[in-house]
Chain A
C-alpha cells in the first residue's frame, strides 16, 4: 500500500467522507483518469503522478448544478487544482466545510496534446518514468523523451506546485520546475508587430470547431447557461465564421480574468491543439501587475474583478 492510499483511507474514515475525488490508472497509457471513491477500501486504486492532468475541481461545480449537495467531499489536489477549489469557495460555489482538500506535491503533468503531437500516429502500450525521462514503447518501437518536452506549458513555469491552502498534505512539498520564465512567451509574442499578432490568433482560433471541450474541462466555467449556448438573445452564431470563433475566445478569456489558475485543462482538452493559453496568461499578468491579485491563494481576498480601489489607475480613460 502506498503512502497516498494509506493516508487517504485514514482521512476518509476520520473525516466521514461521503465521496472522494482522485485519480486512478487510466485505460490508456500515460493518462491517469479521475475516479470517485465511495468507501475507504476502494482507495487502493488511487494513484498520483505526472499522468494525472485533469483538474478535479471541475467535478465540484458539475455536481452543484444538478442537486443541492450537502455531501462531504474529499478532493486530491495539485497546486493549480487547489487554487481552483479555493477560488470556487471565494466565489461561493459551495461551503468550505463540505470540502476536504488533500494536497499532493506536483512535479508537473503530461499534456496529452503534446504527447499526441510527438507520437504522431504511433500507439504506445507501455511507459515508465526514469528520473527526468519517460520511456514509452509500443509495437516495434521504443522512444525516450525528456519529461520537460511533454509537460503542460503551465507546469514549466508553475510557481505553486503545492496547494496553497489544504486540510491535509501528503508527501514532501515539491520544488517548482521553473525551467522557464512565466511570462517569457508573452514577452516574445509582444515583440511582434500588431498584424502578426492578429494573424497568429486568426490562425489559432480559426481552427476552432467550437466543440467547447476547453470550456467544459475548465473548473471556473460553471455557468448554468454559457453565453455561447444562449438563443435569446443569440450572442454568437453557430456557424464557422471567424468573428464568432474570435468572440467566443475573447469573451471566455475575459470571463476567466482574475479567476484562471493556469491549470492547462483547457489546452489539454482541445482536440485541435489550439493555443488557448496565451491570451489567458496575458490577462493573468495584467491582473497581477495592475490589481496585485493572483487567483485562488487564500479564502479572504476578493477576486480582482469583483472589487476595486477608488484610486485604480485610469490612464486609458479620456
Chain B
C-alpha cells in the first residue's frame, strides 16, 4: 500500500448500505455496468438505523480509511422512521470526531434510493477522490497496528 497521497493509493471504504435502497442502488449501478472505483466494501444492513455508532468508530480505529453509510431518502425509510434516527445519531458522531481531532470527513452519510444507480456510482467516485486527498487513515498505525 502506498503511504503518500499519490494515485496508487486505493482507499478502503466500508459501506453500510440499507437493503431497501442504497444496496439495491448499488446493484443497479452494477447491472447497468456503471464504472466506479473498487474502493468500497459493501455490507448489507436492513436499515441505516441498524448502523450502530460502534460500527463506524470500530472501522476507523481499526484501520478503514473511511465509512460510508447509505440510507433511504427522508420519508422513504422502509420502516418509516429509521433514517431520521440515523440522522440524529450521525450528527452527534460527526461532532465526536471533530472533538477528538479525528477527520470527520472519514465518515459520511448519504441518501441514495434504489433507483439511483448512477448516483451511487457518482457518490463512490466522489468520496473515493476525497479520501485519496486525505490519504491513508493515519490512526490505523498509531492506534492499533
Which residue numbers of A lie inside 8 Å of B, CB to CB? 189-190, 193-198, 201, 227, 235-236, 241-243, 246-247, 250-251, 253-254, 257, 279, 282-283, 286-287, 290-291, 304-306, 308-310, 312-314, 316-318
Question: Size of chain B's interface in residues, with CB distance under 8 A?
Answer: 34
Q: Is the interface of A mostly helix, strand, loop or mixed?
A: helix
Q: Which residue of A lies closest to B74 (CB)?
A: A310
Question: Which secondary structure characterizes the binding site on chain B?
Answer: helix
Contacts A247-B58, A254-B96, A317-B109; is A310 near B84 (CB within 8 Å)? yes
Which residue from A201, A246, A250, A308 sits with its C-beta under 8 Å from B88?
Answer: A308
Q: Could you say which of B57, B85, B111 has the most chain A C-beta atoms within 10 Å of its C-beta?
A: B57
Instruction: List B residues 45-60 near A (Cβ within 8 Å).
Output: 53-54, 57-58
The CA-CA distance from A318 to B47 in the complex, in Å, is: 18
Taken together as a complex, chains A and B put the C-alpha atoms of A287 and B94 apart, in Å, by 12
Closest to A186 in B: B99
Q: How far is the CB of B137 from chain A (nearest CB, A)?
A: 12
In Å, the complex CA distance between A247 and B96 comes to: 12
Q: Which residues of B contact A305 (CB under 8 A)?
A: 85, 88-89, 92
A254 near B92 (CB under 8 angstroms)?
Answer: yes
**Residues of chain A with a CB closer than 8 A to B99's CB:** 189-190, 197, 279, 282
Q: Is the CB of B61 within 8 A of A246?
A: yes
Contacts of B101 in A (CB 8 A): 193-198, 201
B88 A318 Cβ-Cβ under 8 A: no
> Are B85 and A254 in touch, CB under 8 angstroms?
no
Task: Please indicate the chain B residues that have their CB under 8 angstroms from the CB of A283 in the complex.
Answer: 92, 95-96
Contact of A254 with B93 in the complex, beta carbons under 8 Å:
yes
Interface centre among A195, A227, A308 (most CB of B within 10 A): A308
- Bitwise, B85-106 to A at CB < 8 A (1) or not (0) is 1011111111110011111000
